[in-house]
Structure 1
Amino acid sequence: MFMRTLFLKDETGTDFSRKEKMLYVLIAGFFISFYLRSHPVINNSVIGLLFIFSFYYNGLREKVRLLWQRKAVLLMLLFFLLHLISSLFSSNKQEALDMLALRSPLLLFPVSLGLIVISGKLKDRILWLYNLVTTGAAAVCLGWALVLYRQTGNAALLYNDSLSDAIGKQSIYFALMINLAVFSWVYLLNKRVSFINRGLAYCSILFLLFIHFLLASRMNMIVLYTCLLGYAVYYIIRRRKILEGLILVMGLVIGAFLLFKMFPKTFNRFRELGYTEYQFNNKAVESHYNMEVTADQWNGANIRLAIWQCGWELARTHWLTGVQLGDKEDRLMEVYREKDFQFAVKTQRNLHSNYLDVLVSFGVIGLLLFVTGYLLLPLLSCLRQHDGIGVFIVLAFAAAFFSETYFDRSMGAVLAGFFLSFVLSDKRLAAGKVTDCPPGTA
């Protein structure tokens, strides 16, 4: 039954059109290739095929109509146009070209996924597939980490970036992907879709929560646990199942307590939040989850505070149009040197905030385009059409953007471009309703 469902051979899967099945296969290829370590060419090729296929999926006339209906996609494209304009005015043309190539998913996904219409049933299949692939990737990470731990006896290999090294992803990005998978499982279970195995879903959720804890990404842990607690409260109030809701809350609290006791290195990541003081000329080493945290070290908290101060000073002097895309890094390094922030210079630290990065690069104009196109309009669209999973996806990215510069990493640009376009792909705004219709019939 599982394999029939996976290959769309089950009762509902056979109802999909040929184009929908081809889209499903391409997106499956995208998910799998994204987790392949050291093989970005394969993932880039699949993204290119998905982009080309989108023009076969529906016609140009329909795309134009969707573009005017989906104002978020229009602003996404204007935001990338701002990248092109900024590149022309950049002094460092090579850096500008490199950044354009790295951020190309911010153009490719809005044009491909953002300008097609997929049915709700296909959307559910894609989310289910994503959950399976992500669970498989998590299993590979844990398996490889256990092999290395057995060989070396070093327990640090079971945590953070070391755990996700098997798939070549930083822990912050993989933790976000697990957030999306857990949200998707809850959505599919709550919707009671017929094609999923509920036992498998619950096992996957528990396993992903365990891996997520070991990844020790503070922001993603806060987002995940807050959303789960919020869902528990909603479950209690809306369903009036007080006992079940309280059991869920107690289970989360007890589970988190036991994990912190059994795996104390994760708690080390949160101890850093107690040491936020900094001096720019501090030459101390950076703290690590596998070492004792002290006040004289650089850590994830005070590094960001110091960098944000530098970035804010740079943004204030170029508040309207920014310092331009190609010159951002050079100008930031100048500020670091002026403040004798040698630690940041040596490690080539970026701004560690997508919002601040956009503000510094493109000014207030760019920040308004970014926040409105990528977050506010998609969120309003999801809320208006009661798309719970869409709301969770947008909020997860909105929170993640606070502490990391996603657009300065290829995997970050790919994730943001794909998922924030995907949440729009099942929405047709005519008459204020979502219409599940076959491709190309608008």
Structure 2
Amino acid sequence: MGDYQRDLVLQLPFLILPIGFWLLPPLPASYLRKLWLTFIVVTLGAALLSTGNYLAHFEQINELYLHSKVMPTEPDHIRFSLIITLAIAAGAGLLVHGSLKGTARVGLITALVALALYQHMLAVRSGLITFYFLGGVVCLWLIIQRKKYRQAAAVAVGLILLPVISYICFPTFRNKSTNTKEDVGRVENTASANNYSLVGRVYSYKVALKVIQDNLWVGVGKADIADEMATRYQQEFPTIQAASYIQPHNQYLYSTVAFGVVGLLLFIIGFYYAGLCIWPRYAPLLLAQYLIVTLSFLVEYTLETQIGLAFALFFLLLALEGSKPIATQESEWRPA
């Protein structure tokens, strides 16, 4: 019952936030633009504070990256890296649609360059994957939709040069690359799950699939996931210590373990319905957030933490706000 009550509180934003946004009248484009700009500025401020802390503890933090750890951030480093990717996507959208002019435009470009460099200095795999995936989507969009081949080539060159420059300039990026290679090389050694985060995730997937095989249609229930996973860990991988047992680091697997195939289908329909129902209206920020969150689902149970759920849901709803029908036609782009 305690687990149920905690989970009920955790999931309440799925009810309260959509109702709150639904009750709002359609916000003017200028309000939406200011909200997204505020988000970018706050994200940049947090990145600068994190950078200052990194420079103050340079050697210690560089060493952390060799042990599957990263520099301290607020919120946690995984969600913060996703926030940075979304801030870059939002800023790029505002630039493409000419939402800012003069000095403000130059300032936004500078902020986006700084955030892109910080993303590589932070060197969190989730953030880098979402950053490069969205970059690839932009290239395809420029080629297929806009027929702007030079711009697509410029973006592609930037995506190639950034990791090269980062590897040369940022010890954190180099150390994270070394740590990742070491992690990948130890996947076959089951006992490595006790010390290596990437290996631990791989075995959490294997254990989750075993649990799903025995509880295919309706799952085991959220409150029993930890016990069921622990039982399977002991049976299948006895060399992994109890302290290293982790729940499946994949939102889709997590939902299937908890609620079975039936629950997974209901989750997918419910979560992606908002994006599907406005198709094919133009909503690049909504698409960007859906892509970011979906990629995070593949390596994290994003919606099972307050900050993960808040990040995913709030910015989906903010992007949907720009797609609300309005009484009068606006000359400027409604960020959507």
Q: Which category of TM-score, normalised to the shorter sequence, fits these structures?
A: 0.7 to 0.9
Q: Partner letter of residue 321 of structure 1?
A: V
Q: How many residues end up aligned between the 2 structures? A: 323
- CA–CA distance in structure 1, aligned partners of residues 28 and 182 of structure 2: 43
Shift of 1:215: 2.4
Q: Residue 95 of structure 2 aligns with which residue?
A: 189
Q: Residue 35 of structure 2 aligns with which residue?
A: 126
**Aligned partner of 1:384 among 252, 260, 280:** 280
Asked if residue 171 in structure 1 is aligned to residue 68 in structure 2, the reply is no
SS in 1 for 2:57: helix
Shift of 1:426: 3.5
Q: Residue 176 of structure 2 aligns with which residue?
A: 266
- CA–CA distance in structure 2, aligned partners of residues 277 and 157 of structure 1: 21
Structure 1 residues 340 and 242: CA distance shift in structure 2, 3 A:
closer
- CA–CA distance in structure 1, aligned partners of residues 296 and 6 of structure 2: 23
Asked if residue 207 in structure 1 is aligned to residue 104 in structure 2, the reply is no
Whether the 8 Å contact between 1:114 and 1:421 is mirrored in structure 2 is no
- CA–CA distance in structure 2, aligned partners of residues 157 and 204 of structure 1: 27
Structure 1 residues 198 and 138: CA distance shift in structure 2, 3 A:
same
Whether the 8 Å contact between 1:176 and 1:396 is mirrored in structure 2 is yes
Shift of 1:238: 4.5
Q: Residue 60 of structure 1 aligns with which residue?
A: none
SS in 2 for 1:403: coil
Q: Residue 254 of structure 1 aligns with which residue?
A: 161
Q: Residue 405 of structure 1 aligns with which residue?
A: 301
1:202-351 matches, within 5 Å, as 202-236=109-143, 238-263=145-170, 264-272=174-182, 274-275=184-185, 277-280=187-190, 282=191, 285-286=194-195, 298-300=196-198, 302-341=199-238, 343=240, 345-351=242-248
- CA–CA distance in structure 2, aligned partners of residues 332 and 214 of structure 1: 35
Shift of 1:123: 2.5
Write the deviation string for residues 323-370 of structure 1: whole angstroms up to 9, x where unpaired.
Answer: 112122222122122224454621341210111111111122221121
- CA–CA distance in structure 2, aligned partners of residues 154 and 345 of structure 1: 28
**Aligned partner of 1:353 among 250, 261, 272:** 250
Shift of 1:396: 0.9
Whether the 8 Å contact between 2:194 and 2:200 is mirrored in structure 1 is no
- CA–CA distance in structure 2, aligned partners of residues 250 and 209 of structure 1: 14
Q: Which segment drifts farther, 208-217 or 227-236?
A: 227-236
Q: Partner letter of residue 184 of structure 1?
A: A
Whether the 8 Å contact between 1:354 and 1:405 is mirrored in structure 2 is yes
- Where in structure 2 are there 5+ consecutive unaligned residues? 329-336
SS in 2 for 1:384: coil
Q: Residue 419 of structure 1 aligns with which residue?
A: 315
Whether the 8 Å contact between 1:176 and 1:220 is mirrored in structure 2 is yes
Write the deviation string for residues 27-62 of structure 1: whole angstroms up to 9, x where unpaired.
Answer: xxxxxxxxxxxxxxxxxxxxxxxxxxxxxxxxxxxx
Whether the 8 Å contact between 1:134 and 1:181 is mirrored in structure 2 is yes
SS in 1 for 2:188: coil
- CA–CA distance in structure 1, aligned partners of residues 278 and 93 of structure 2: 14
- CA–CA distance in structure 2, aligned partners of residues 414 and 346 of structure 1: 28
Q: Residue 362 of structure 1 aligns with which residue?
A: 259
- CA–CA distance in structure 1, aligned partners of residues 257 and 214 of structure 2: 9
Shift of 1:233: 4.1
Q: Partner letter of residue 256 of structure 2?
A: L
- Where in structure 1 are there 5+ consecutive unaligned residues? 1-92, 287-297, 429-433, 438-442
Shift of 1:407: 2.4
Structure 1 residues 351 and 114: CA distance shift in structure 2, 3 A:
farther
Asked if residue 180 in structure 1 is aligned to residue 78 in structure 2, the reply is no
Shift of 1:399: 0.9
Whether the 8 Å contact between 1:135 and 1:208 is mirrored in structure 2 is yes
- CA–CA distance in structure 2, aligned partners of residues 436 and 141 of structure 1: 43
Structure 1 residues 201 and 283: CA distance shift in structure 2, 3 A:
closer
- CA–CA distance in structure 1, aligned partners of residues 238 and 28 of structure 2: 51
Whether the 8 Å contact between 1:113 and 1:418 is mirrored in structure 2 is no
Whether the 8 Å contact between 1:218 and 1:270 is mirrored in structure 2 is no
**Bigger radius of gyration:** 1
SS in 2 for 1:423: helix
